[in-house]
Amino acid sequence: MKQTILCLDMEWVLTPEIWEEVSKNTGIKELMLTTKDIADYDELMNYRKLHMNNNWLTLSKIQEVISTIDLLPWAIDFMNWAKDNMQVVILSDTFIEFAKPLLKKMWNPTIFCHNLIIEDNKIVDYKLRIKDQKTEAVKRFKELNFNVIAAWDSFNDTGMLNEANFWFFFKPGKKATDAFPNIPVAQSYEELKTFIEKSL
């Protein structure tokens, strides 16, 4: 029997969307935009940097906001259950400098994400771990003979999801369910647990 590794997105699966929370807290409405609004990630990050600099928004201020963000209800119970039953890795396009305060609330699970480049407490750039790290990570897990299960809230990472042995939507938007009508949809952690248990 293969060992199982569960790959989870962080934002909207375990936590709220970080940039949206920062936007609400700081009043910088331009930071509310996500890849749903600007698909090109480099273009989106340049847009964010412009408005962070225009508003003198520092990394420490952003981290202060993030430290006040609560996990989604029952997320910690789900994570505890998952870690008791399989390996768990968070695959995210966030940055480790943003993720740390939230990871502490989950007892520091393993995360693969990216890095920010900081100068004088300002975000000046970012560095991807590797291109399309999520897909590459899932490929490597399969090569290591893991049964790979993935749970995501959207269809932006179809390359990674198609590589997984099993994958599920967790509280997805209508675009996701319209694009992939045959993918099981979990509207709660209990439903997600049931899907995962059937995939072990």
Cα separation, 186 vs 12, in Å, equals 13
Cα separation, 54 vs 51, in Å, equals 5
Q: For this structure, is 163 an active site residue?
A: no
What phi, psi does 50 have (nearest 5°)? -55, -50
Return the closest-CA partner of residue 87 out of 34, 149, 38, 43: 149
Q: For this structure, is 191 an active site residue?
A: no
Place of tokens 């935009």: 33
Element containing residue 147 per DSSP (H, E): strand 147-152
Annotated catalytic residue within 9, 21, 93, 157: 9
Annotated catalytic residue within 11, 93, 97, 163: 11
Contacts with 181 (C-beta within 8 Å, 6 or more apart), sequence order: none
The one-letter amino acid code at 104 reads K
- Residues marked active site are found at 9, 11
